[in-house]
Chains A and B, each alone.
Chain A
Amino acid sequence: MKYALSFLAVVVLAAVAWLGSQVPGMSYIFGVAFPYLAILVFLGGFVYRIVQWAKTPVPFSIQTTCGQGKSLDFIKHNKLEAPHTNAQVIARMALEIFTFRSLFRNTHAQVHDGPKITYESSKWLWLFALIFHYSFLLIIIRHMRFFLDPFPGLLALIEALDGFFSIGNPTWYLTSAGIVVGVLFLFARRIASTKVRYISLINDYFPLFLILGIATTGILMRHFLRTDVDITAIKTLGVGLVTLQPTIQVSLSPLFYTHLFLVCVLLAYFPFSKLMHMGGVFMSPTRNMKNDTRENRHVNPWNPRILPHSYAGYEDEFREYMVEAGLPVEKELPPQKDEE
């Protein structure tokens, strides 16, 4: 149900762009106004969110240690899983961000008769998440071709690698397949795993379909409906957008506008959604702090002044017993009054 709604939403968005862009005069809206708007919302929203997070204090140092901390010389310190210096933290974060370290650790637990629990390594999510994210990244880099003139050599190299297998004409990119396979796996997993299906929201399906829509329209343009697409005109528009002199010379195909519009929606949706995990992953206190809190004091900016129940108050309450038990006291008992 939730995925059907999300799917429908993406179809409607695509239709809006397909039809809308063909209304005379609208091509400027779809080709120039929306992209600028989307970029503004994306950048503004992204920065706003990061600033909001950054402004919120980290009162306590709460790293999750996933290995031996630094202690005695002869106890082997796990530098990556319980980092003690900034460099080690950076290494830990780099592993997390570039190789999805925590997902790599994933296990699948199952309860059997007995009862008995088994744990087996489960790296599917890790693998497909990696394929998906790296494909996405490389695709973005490849697209710089449309915005940069001249196109830097390094990027051309990446592009060449991406098309390494030279299958088809024009060459299929590995990443085009990668992103589709990745999205489909992530979607299938959401449906097939009862646990994940139970926790999934519209907000989980929507971005998947949106990205799938973007990928499909892109692939259609490159490989199947190529004749409708005027690459030079697209590049002119792209470079124009970047240099703030956008022009639309010829009428571009509705397929192109659909592709572009879905990208705009994704950009605008980004800062207000879970997609912000892209920024958040850098800021999670359990991962980006040092495990050195016994060695170096961490300061809480709003540390309230709260004193313990005082020793004096404690002794006042129990002094008699303490004296009787031979425990040292600060103040002796007052001399006993004689009872009449």
Chain B
Amino acid sequence: MSVPKLEQLSKSVVKGPSLATGAVPTKDWMEIPVEFKPGNYAYPAKKEKVEYLNSQKGLHFPNAREWSPEDDDWKLPEDWKDIILQGLKERLDKFRSLKIFMDCCVRCGACADKCHFFLGTGDPKNMPVLRAELLRSVYRNDFTLGGKILGKMVGGREMTVGVLKEWFMYSYQCTECRRCSVFCPYGIDTAEITMMLRELLHLVGVGINWILEPASNSNRTGNHMGLQPHTFKDNVDFLVDDVENLTGVRPNVTFNRKGAEVLFITPSADVFAEPGLYTAMGYMILFEAIGLDYTWSTYASEGGNFGLFTNNETMKKLNAKMYAEAERLGVKYIIGGECGHMWRVLHQYMDTMNGPADFLETPVSAITGTKFQNAASTKMVHITEFTADLIKHGKLKFDKSRNSHVKATFHDSCNTSRAMGLLDEPRYVLDHVVDWVEMPEGTIREQTFCCGSGTGLNTDEIMELRMRSGFPRANAVQYVRDKFDVNMLSCVCAIDRATLTSLNNYWTPEVGVCGVSELVGNAIVQENEGENRANLDEGLRTLV
């Protein structure tokens, strides 16, 4: 889909008919049906991908078929309504969060202007409270006393195909970033609502390809890119060569090696595409510099978890590989690379779903002796925690000037910040390796803005939507670019590295995107370095 020119979109973001800028829709939101046009929806999942997922034990992805959101008839199963209402009832009985969030919203609107989708599109249905009302109205009608008696009067409505279509539209205009939840007086987390909406939609076979294909790839080949073991190894080997060419030191990388001390898992995008590749090179240089005894796995070759974007069963199934592989290889603990939602799953779901991991040990850094008590149960350490600890103990030698071509800023990923509280570790690392500045308050730390394309929305057919929803983030980048000449946006999330690249190309083309570990790799000084090591004028990105 073609994206409007920058100038055009800039105008439309401000002047477009939107609540954000003052233009009020004249009709009640229930009276405004959704309309699917090329460019405003992500493509539905391919039949064979859905069939494959459905064939996997423990997963349920019925009603595989060819269909298009633009068609009137979505080829739903005959009893689709019962399935949805039954599914909703089940979830109300299974998740206190859902029940409380359905019951306790006072519609104060504190969350309304917190969502990047609302700010970028101005569509009132993108206000978190209204996104939740899309589901709550049906809940009210069918599951509450007032709604059963008074129905529409009190904001209840029947479940219809129109409502289902609306759910599809707006549950894929939420990146489950939880920014709204920070501001809500009851911590109502619209991301939970979105997750439930998506779960319900999958029950009747409504899902998008950019999520279900990566999910099925992850299941079969171990990673969402669908890289088979030999290809995965080849990709990493290329990076090993690159690192050797650039630094003069060849990192010792092994795969599926039993008896290694540490299993290292990172999102597969890091070994597949720019700019993640440089981050992966950074990991290698770091591990080589300290002589870590670690291995990669081709079977558990994905940190990212596309199950999080579908339903909790798929999330569990994909996540389970990490522990299964750690057990098979007999490692002591796991280090995880830079990834947002991988860490959300790790932090909030992994141990619950697939623990206890009693075949592993509480992580202890062999280099510093630090015991990572905060990971005593999951047995998994975040790369920036690990690096920060090395720095604190003086185990790494840096030459900050090797990053002198970079003036960085730091983007907190929604997941590591709002679902984990990982805020200062990456900052501590950055302080030691690069000259950097913060973006304005209100757009960083727990109030950070989403890249706009998380939870499986970084697909090209909805580019305009992505550029709009990423606008609040881009605008903060623009601010530090203009004020401090920032030319690099660093982050600890692989989806960010992919999506922020498109976002910056559109709004702030002068600013690149990198992982924190890339900057670490740039700055590390090793013994036996090649002669040219100090002179790489673009760090690991220098062409040789």
Contact = CB atoms under 8 A, between A and B. Distances in A.
B97 A58 contact: yes
Contacts of B112: 195-196, 199
A109 B376 CA distance: 40
Given A194-B22, A294-B346, A321-B228, A287 B187 contact: yes
Interface stretch (B63-71, B80-88, B414-422, B512-520): B414-422
A173 B122 CA distance: 44
A245 B358 CA distance: 63
Interface string A294-333: 1111111011111111110011011001101111100000
Interface string A8-42: 00000000000000000000000000000000000
B324 interface: yes
Interface residues of B, number: 126
A280 interface: yes
A71 interface: yes
A308 B103 contact: no
A324 B230 CA distance: 8
A75 B418 contact: no
A70 to B, nearest CB: 6
Interface of A: 49, 52-53, 56-72, 74-76, 78, 81-82, 96, 100, 102-103, 105-117, 119, 125, 129, 193-196, 198-204, 272-274, 276-277, 280-281, 283-287, 291-300, 302-311, 314-315, 317-318, 321-322, 324-328
A81 B418 CA distance: 10
B119 A71 contact: no
B257 to A, nearest CB: 7
Given A60-B352, A64-B189, A75-B428, A304 B106 contact: no
B186 A280 contact: yes
A96 B100 CA distance: 16
A71 B446 CA distance: 17
Given A109-B114, A306-B320, A308-B321, A195 B352 contact: no
B370 A72 contact: yes
Contacts of A57: 94-96
A327 B256 contact: yes
Contacts of A306: 57-59, 313, 316-317, 320
Given A72-B388, A291-B421, A52 B95 contact: no
B219 A102 contact: no
Nearest to B112: A195
A60 B294 CA distance: 31
B68 to A, nearest CB: 30
B408 to A, nearest CB: 20
Contacts of A276: 103-104
A65 B99 contact: no
B133 interface: yes
B348 interface: yes
Most chain A CB atoms below 10 A, which of B109, B192, B234: B109
B325 A311 contact: yes
Contact of A64 (B21, B129, B419): B419
A199 B127 contact: yes
Interface string B182-204: 11111111001000000000000
Nearest to B13: A115
B480 to A, nearest CB: 13
B96 A117 contact: no
B359 interface: no
Contacts of A196: 107-109, 112
Contacts of A307: 57-58, 317, 320
Contacts of B380: 294
Nearest to B355: A297
Interface in B37-77: 56-59
B57 A117 contact: no
B338 interface: no
Interface string B412-441: 000001111111110010000000000011
B292 to A, nearest CB: 18
Among all A-B residue pairs, the 4 with the closest Cβ atoms = A69-B421, A306-B58, A280-B104, A65-B421
Contact of B189 (A49, A62, A82, A322): A62
A96 B185 contact: yes
B100 A112 contact: no
A165 B93 CA distance: 52
Contacts of A326: 233
B130 interface: yes
A295 B375 contact: yes
B317 A308 contact: yes
A193 B377 CA distance: 47
A195 B351 contact: no
B186 A277 contact: yes
Given A103-B183, A280-B104, 6 more contacts: A53-B99, A75-B428, A117-B472, A277-B185, A284-B188, A285-B100
Nearest to B388: A72
B97 to A, nearest CB: 5
Contacts of A311: 299, 324-325, 328
B235 to A, nearest CB: 11
Given A81-B446, A307-B57, A56 B95 contact: yes
Nearest to A198: B124
Contact of B182 (A64, A109, A281): A64
B103 A280 contact: yes
B160 interface: no
A193 B186 contact: no
B144 A72 contact: no
B347 interface: yes
B109 A195 contact: yes
Given A60-B349, A72-B385, A321-B229, A78 B421 contact: yes
Nearest to B105: A274
Contacts of A108: 113
Given A198-B29, A294-B347, A325-B234, A71 B374 contact: yes
17 contacts: A57-B95, A62-B419, A67-B423, A107-B114, A117-B471, A195-B127, A196-B107, A198-B19, A199-B109, A203-B155, A204-B107, A284-B188, A293-B378, A294-B377, A295-B377, A300-B352, A325-B234
Given A64-B419, A196-B109, A75 B124 contact: no
Contact of B186 (A70, A76, A281, A308): A281
Contacts of B445: 67
Contacts of A292: 374
B145 interface: yes
B271 interface: no
Question: Which of A71, A284, A318 lies at the interface centre, i.e. has the most chain B CB atoms within 10 A of its CB?
Answer: A71
A163 to B, nearest CB: 30
Interface string B307-337: 0000011001111110011001000000000
A203 B146 contact: yes
B220 interface: yes
Contacts of B421: 65, 67-70, 78, 81-82, 291
B475 interface: yes
Contacts of A61: 348, 352
Given A81-B446, A298-B351, A328-B258, A308 B423 contact: no
A280 B219 CA distance: 39
